[in-house]
Structure 1
Amino acid sequence: MVKSALRAEARVESRILSKVFGVFCLGWLVFLVFVHQHLNDSVLQLYARNQSFNKAQFAAILEQAENRLQQIARTVLTTLPAPDAGGALAVGQVVASLDQGWSGLEKPPDFLAMHFLAEDGRLLAGWGDVPEHAAGHDVEPARLLQAERERRSITYLSCHELCFFTLVRTLDADSDGLGYLHLSIPVENLLRQFEFLVGPGIFLFRRQTGIAQPDRLQYVFQAASSQVRWLKYRDLLAGLDWQEAVYQRTLLAQELLLGRLDIGYFADNPYLFVTAEDMTRNFDQAGSAFARILLGSLLVMLLLCMILYFFIHHVIRRLQFLAGVLPVIGAGQFEQAEKLLERSRPATHVRQDELDFMHQSVRVLNGRLMQLHTSLRSQNDQLRVLADFDGMTGLWNRRRFRQELESWRREGRPFYLALFDLDHFKVINDTLGHAAGDHVLAAFSDVLREEVSGEGLLLARMGGDEFAMAMRGNSRAEVEALLGRIVRLWLQSPLWSRGLRMVVKSKPSIGVAGFPADSGNMEELLVCADTAMYENKRLKQADFHFYTGRELIVFQERQLTNWLNHLTQAFQQERFLVYFQPIVSQTGHARVACEALVRIRCQEQDGGVLHAGHFIAYAEQTNLIVRIDRLVLDQALACLCSHQPQPVLFFNVSNNTLSTPGFDAYILDKLEEYGYDPACLVIELTESAEIVNFRQAESFINGLRHAGIRFALDDFGTGFSSFNYISKLELDFIKIDKSIVWGLLAASEYTKNRGIVESIVYLARAAGMQVILEGVETPEVLERIEGLGADLLQGYLFGQPSASI
Structure 2
Amino acid sequence: MLGILISAVMLLVWNGSHFFQQISFATDRIDGGIQIASTALTLNVALILFGWRRYVDVQHESQMRAESEDRAALIATTDAMTGLLNRKGFADRATVLAGAACGDGERMVMISVQMHRFKGINDRHGYDVGDELLRRLAAAILAVVDREVAVARLSGDEFALAMVRSPGDRPAIEIIGEALIRAITKPYQVEDKHIQVGVFVGIAMAEAGPVVVAELLRRADIALDHAKSSRSARPVWFDGGMERALLAHSEIEQGIRFALEHEQFEPHFEPQIDLETGELVGFETLARWNHTLSGIIMPDMFIPVAEEIGVIGRLSEQVMRAAFVHAATWDASINLSVNVSPAMLGDPWLAQKIVRLLRETSFPANRLVVEITESSLFTDIDQARTIVTSLKNQGIRLALDDFGTGFSSLSHLRTLPFDVIKIDRSFIATIQRDRQSAAIVRAVTTLATALDVPVTVEGIEDASTHAAVLAMGCAVGQGWYFGKPMSAERAGEMVRARKNHGVPVSSAGPIKAAG
TM-score range, shorter-chain basis?
A: 0.3 to 0.5
TM-score by length of 1: 0.31
More helix by share: 2
With a CA cutoff of 8 Å and minimum separation of 6, indicate the structure with the bigger relative contact order: 2
TM-score by length of 2: 0.47
